[in-house]
Homo-oligomer: A and B are copies of this chain.
Amino acid sequence: MTLPIGSLDHSSEFPLYRQLYASIRSLIEKGRIPKGGRLPATRELAGQLGLNRATISAAYELLEAEGLISGHVGRGSFVAGGARRAGVNWRENVGSSAPSSGAPASAPLASFSSSRPSELLFPLDEFRETCDDVLASGEAQAILQLGSPAGYAPLRRYLLEQARAEGVARESDDILITSGCQQAFHLLQSILVRAGDNVLLEDPVYPGMKNVFQRSGARLTAIPVGADGLDLHAFERAASEHPRLIAVTSNFQNPTGATFRLGARRSLLEIAQASGVIVIENDIYGALVYEGDPLPSIKQLDASGDTILLRSFSKIAFPGLRVGWVIGPRPLIERLTEVKQWTDLHTDQLSQAILLRFAQSGRLERHRQRMLAAGRERLAAVMDACRRFLPPEVEFTHPRGGMSLWLRLPEPLDAGELLPRAEREGVTYLPGKYFAVSRPETRGLRISFASMAPGQIRSGIAVLGRIFKNELERVRAQSPLAEAPAMV
């Protein structure tokens, strides 16, 4: 049989097997796969969906663990007769969740799980015009030919001049174009970090940053991030052990949305310079300021010129085009460029040329203004919805820009355990465990609001508010029992 599985979101940080699991669960719950019905073999479904068999198996295992299907060696997997196996959290969840509102789980009500711009806001006509301009220019042949490891020269010049005009780049700085910021981190890791080196990371942090340093065998030291950014006292203590580097997000940190205050930026530089710690400033959200004025970057404040700055087009414009850049001291950039060459020769040149033209023609800035207007509205919607719909015990940050905020549930709620309940009502988010460096914050969760319209944001937060409230009431109703004296 062919399962009517909608398209899965490959770019979500939310694993495919969980998405698939949620889709199949929804089909079972809606009776679209009958009780006793046979699921396709893993190989067959893998072929149908263009996924790995391991992904299918993981989804089936989860369904089986929850008693929704049962597997018989050699015969296949069958939808269970409604009788569920003992699975403590699951049963409790089912027991306490409100009846489904009828919203199909395969067409989510609100997905708060991806920190990216909405494709509905992409200015497609302007993008097409930009492509036409690039391909009609005398440069077309050179653009489609092999390019330079350092990047497309006109783009490098444009970005470097802009950074110099802004006061961000100095004479002693140079620039490397990378295939997005993730690659910039990868290249920096590969030349700066050796196994056993001590690397300081924000905690919680975007998993891509943790993974890239973890893979190099570095020892990761977590520096907590609060509503105002990095905990400077913790950084000072960690810096006294002369770690190799610190990677820090100055604006609208992923996942907390926190922004580092001006004074704190200066203090961070002082501490870093006194202890010889390399500072990598990740500033991919800095152009998305919805409230207040932009602050000077750490790089700009750094008179020594040693700070390494990472920026990208991906959070404003078209993330499917992988173009980011690193600005830093020339000897570092030279070494990075060499490593870049043996990593992938150079970044895709058509995309570099298109984004340059998009910027130079003024279209990027016009688009950014539209993104700011949309972002401002969306931020207002999510803040308003959090205040209105979340139980007062839930804490949340108030970002001034970017794409995400951070919720902290009251004890003893667990954001990971509550997720399946939210998914059943068509709402997704990423629980804190995905972002943990050292302390898995089971009560934390990330709400990425930038890719949805205000109405959708409000409906989604309302659902979460109800689930959190119900769960709080449930555990409170139980707690007197738990607090009763033990029977002896």
Residues in A lying within 8 Å of B, measured CB to CB = 10-11, 50, 52-54, 114, 116, 119-120, 122, 124, 127-128, 131-132, 135-136, 140-150, 153, 156-157, 174, 178-180, 182-183, 186, 208, 211-212, 215, 314, 318-322, 330, 333-334, 339, 341-351, 354
Residue A345 contacts which of B120, B122, B322, B354 (CB distance < 8 angstroms)? Answer: B322
Chain B residues contacting A145 (CB-CB under 8 Å) are 11, 116, 119, 122, 318-320
Q: Provide the bound-state CA to CA distance between A208 and B346, in Å.
A: 12
- Bound-complex Cα distance A187 to B366 (A): 38
A136 CA / B320 CA spacing, docked (Å): 16
Q: Are B182 and A146 in contact (CB under 8 A)?
A: no
Query: In the complex, what residues of B have CB within 8 A of residue A319's CB?
Result: 144-146
Please pick, from B11, B178, B211, the residue contacting A146 in the complex, using a CB distance under 8 A. B11
Which B residues are CB-close (under 8 A) to A120?
141
Contact of A334 among B52, B143, B211 (CB under 8 A): B52
A-B contacts besides A11-B148, A124-B135, A142-B320, 15 pairs, CB < 8 Å: A10-B150, A52-B330, A52-B334, A114-B146, A119-B144, A122-B141, A143-B320, A144-B318, A145-B319, A147-B320, A186-B343, A208-B345, A320-B348, A322-B347, A322-B348
Name the CB-closest residue of B to A323: B348
Bound form: Cα–Cα A378–B314 in Å = 43
Task: Known A53-B330, A342-B215; judge A179-B348 contact (CB<8 A).
Answer: yes
Bound Cα distance A125, B124 (Å): 21
Residue on B with the closest CB to A353? B320
Contact in complex: B343, A321 (CB < 8 Å): no
A345 to chain B, nearest CB (A): 5
A114 to B147, CA, bound (A): 12
Copies of this chain present in the complex amount to 2
Evaluate contact between B345 and A180: CB separation under 8 angstroms.
yes
Chain B hits for A114, CB < 8 A? 146
Q: Which residues of B contact A122 (CB under 8 A)?
A: 141, 144-145
A214 (CB) vs chain B CBs: closest residue = B342
C-alpha gap A346/B179 in the complex (Å) = 9
Q: A50-B153, A50-B156 are in contact. Are A320 and B342 (CB under 8 A)?
A: no
Interchain nearest-CB distance for A3 vs B (Å): 17
Residues B345 and A320 in contact, CB atoms below 8 Å apart = no
Contact of A342 among B11, B127, B186, B350 (CB under 8 A): B186
